[in-house]
Structure 1
């Protein structure tokens, strides 16, 4: 891991600073909107803009990269993000904020493509899996720490918007000035047709669609909910931090279980825990400590479920289909994420802020119930034949998934080669022993009688 860090420190430092700024901007905008007396329905519309831009950027960024090169695109998108962040405070208008959110989502989609291309170029075949794991850890750590920066200054002023602008601006320096800036352009696989993907794994498709709504509610509307409920700025930052901590902590234990039991049972169980946590939040969430525990459980249910559903879909695909399927699932997730904030924002405005938890309960319950239904429709796949669980994030581009699949395939091939070498070595040892035994028998037979 230290060797990987030595090879990619510039990229990891840049990603950390980038995620500090991006992690803070979503929470800051949600809090600032409430301070500006923008209702939850309008804020849901504004927050959905990021996912609209992200989805559009995933389609248009590869075209731009082919025309002008990744370094120029990277620098241009970074400049636009910095400008958008400072304009949030300068132009307090719902339409302007929505357009800026679309722009930010579009730009981050392209930034992730270039950053992940550099990551793949910097890592060797033997270290690609470790590099991807480190990248996801740094990405999540930046999001977690970014929430705590909300306490640095007053969200009603300019200082925090200046801070996120500075963080994003300086994040590009180590990446653009590093020796690996000549990394070749990488492109994600063309997404699998949706009809074929749905036919292959209905549970993965339906689950990913609903999970997109869960993601957007948790990561976009939580600041709005916290402010509308009357939490202080510090409490709001701790609440959002707890969601990201749960997402980070529960990823690997659930992944360990995923490779050992029927993934559908795990999907049902994890989403059921998330639904139960939402129900607890609805009735006993008045206590702030309990609310933090619920936030950890919700984050721990939502984030690993994405990886579980991708892994479950891969169980029924050939190796050369997996990257294309991951691109299709990312598109489905993005579509669900676009609609989530709009629906929950409307519900919170017209029916009450408790619909934040009610929406999460309904979405997670639907995934769990549909998983129970699918168990009755398809036999369990033998665990030894399952595809490996990969810790993935819907916030990355499709390239990260492709690289994770490549790393998993290379690791599997290395294991096969090692097992073949061990088998051949044992076979050779057995042959030698047999020859020695034969030689001993012959020697004993040829000895003359005295």
Structure 2
């Protein structure tokens, strides 16, 4: 019973974190547009978040090694709270770019620490259930946070204060937990030769999804604002796209378990590109047509990255899932950082609808490259594939999320390889070696 209470306390902490993150991300894009920030500045705000998030994924494990999990989480939550309040007090485009990078850094660190505790209280039997609940809670909380902007609006101090309250309250469940300190945090390691050798399609898809999703996540609210939507309309627009994308992950993911995953990627990439082209051509004003097109976009675009991860895992050697997925995560982060800047420049020089030229182009690249690779390499038999697992918002996936993924079962010793070379207790090393010996039948 005590372990169940601990798990749900951590779920609550994660939900509060994601609620604040969803609200803050949407709020800054719309409020920045209202403050007449340039499109380039708005794009760089998204770039700042991605750069900070990737940097946090790499650096926070070193911080935790020196000061411990609870202290590090407290610092992340406190700085994240101060950052969103500074967004209110210091309304300046350059200032917001810097603050957004700091916010991404803190968000990555706080999320990783929560996930490390979930890893600690789960085992191979429960990890799949815990992972599924965690992903569902994150998607729901982030969407609710975005929808909250329809109530708070974007003017004044209220939305910033609510976001700050959410961040600081996320501190409480991990701080009050009585569970032992988790193992050292996972640190993503970029192994490009291994990733490209294992699955070129997955590597290309990770970068293209980063470019498209980074541009869309940062600048689609600006597009909605330019098309005449108010705060409530923009929040609803994003919620529809997010919900459609969350719902579609399971059916398309299960379909990819039965047929060549690249066929599903070709279909989703082509449809996402088609929707982007339709938005550019129609350039719909505020109304039902825009909502339908955004729902179709989310439905097709959001499952692409999780299916690419599953495809890479199909070809990965035993014990290499965390390394492969960690490499994809960093490639994704590069795309997430570049995409908003590229899209903002096109939107400035052509039209706000040029955002979807970027998304259409990179989704088409995914579809085209997957088609070419099907002519070169056969698919893994369905019976030999690891089942598809849904993933949360790919802008919020950390290395610890990958370790929590049930597809990483049995990789305890490999996880230690990609963790920072912290002072791991000798007792833990002996335990892991014993587990490995038992699994290999050598004990």
TM-score by length of 2: 0.88
Counterpart contact for 1:53–1:105, Cα < 8 Å: yes
**357-366 or 259-268: which moved more?**
357-366
Give the superposition deviation at 1:409.
Answer: 5.8
Larger Rg over CA atoms = 1
Aligned residue runs from structure 1 range 411-426, under 5 A? none
Give how far 1:247 is off: 1.9
Question: What residue is the counterpart of 1:274 in the other structure?
Answer: 272
Deviation, 1:108, is: 1.0
State the 1:105 CA deviation: 0.6
**Match of 2:60?**
61
Query: Separation in 2 of the partners of 1:184 and 1:102?
Result: 27
Check if 1:138 corresponds to 2:137.
yes
DSSP-derived class of the 1:152 partner: helix
Question: What SS does structure 2 have at the residue aligned with 1:120?
Answer: helix
Alignment of 1:241-390 (within 5 A): 241-284=239-282, 285-286=284-285, 288-390=287-389
* Matches of 1:47 and 1:380, distance apart in 2: 36
Other structure's SS at 1:259 match:
helix
Shift of residue 229 of structure 1?
2.0
CA shift digits 1:21-55 (9 cap, x unpaired): 11010110011111111121111012210000011
Does residue 397 of structure 2 align to residue 396 of structure 1? yes
Moved more, 64-73 or 171-180: 171-180
Q: What is residue 441 of structure 2 aligned with on the other side? A: none
Quote how far apart the aligned CAs of 1:384 are.
1.6
- Report the Cα distance in structure 2 between the residues aligned to 1:210 and 1:32, rounded to whole angstroms: 28
Cα pair distance change 1:119/1:104, threshold 3 Å = same
Q: Which residue of 2 aligns with 1:211?
A: 209
| Correspondence for 1:228 | 226
Q: Separation in 1 of the partners of 2:269 and 2:78? A: 39
SS in 1 for 2:152: coil
1:102 is the counterpart of 2:90? no
Offset of residue 190 of structure 1: 5.3
- Point out where structure 1 has 5 or more consecutive residues left out of the alignment: 411-450
Between the aligned partners of 2:301 and 2:27, the Cα distance in structure 1 is: 22
With over 3 angstroms needed to count, the CA separation of the structure-2 counterparts of 1:405 and 1:335, relative to structure 1, is: same
Provide the rounded CA distance (Å) in 2 between the counterparts of 1:300 and 1:175.
Answer: 34
1:189–1:324 CA contact under 8 A, matched in 2: no
In 2: Cα distance, 1:68 partner to 1:114 partner: 13
- 1:287 CA drift (Å): 5.7
How far, CA to CA, are the matches of 1:293 and 1:115 in structure 2?
A: 36
**Compared CA separation, residues 7 and 174, structure 1 to 2 (3 A):** closer
Give yes or no for contact 1:189–1:323 (8 Å, CA) kept in 2: no
Contact 1:250-1:300 within 8 A present in 2 as well? yes
Q: Taking structure 1 as reference, are residues 408 and 13 closer, same or farther at Cα in structure 2, changes over 3 Å only?
A: same
Give 5+ residue unaligned stretches, structure 2. Answer: 412-443
The question of whether the paired residues in 1 share the 8 Å contact of 2:151 and 2:232 is answered with no
User: Where do 1:110-259 residues align within 5 Å?
Assistant: 110-180=109-179, 182-188=180-186, 191=189, 193-259=191-257
**Deviations along 1:331-364, whole A, 9 cap, x unmatched?**
0000000000000011111111010122111111
Greater shift, 394-403 or 239-248, is seen at 394-403
1:34-45 to structure 2, matched below 5 A, reads 34-45=33-44
Q: Shift of residue 385 of structure 1?
A: 1.9
Indicate how the Cα distance of structure 1 residues 65 and 189 shifts in structure 2: closer, same or farther if over 3 A, else same: closer
Contact 1:41 1:347 (8 Å CA) reproduced: no
Contact kept, 8 Å, 1:189 with 1:402, in 2: the verdict is: no
Q: Is the 8 A contact 2:153 2:232 kept in 1?
A: no
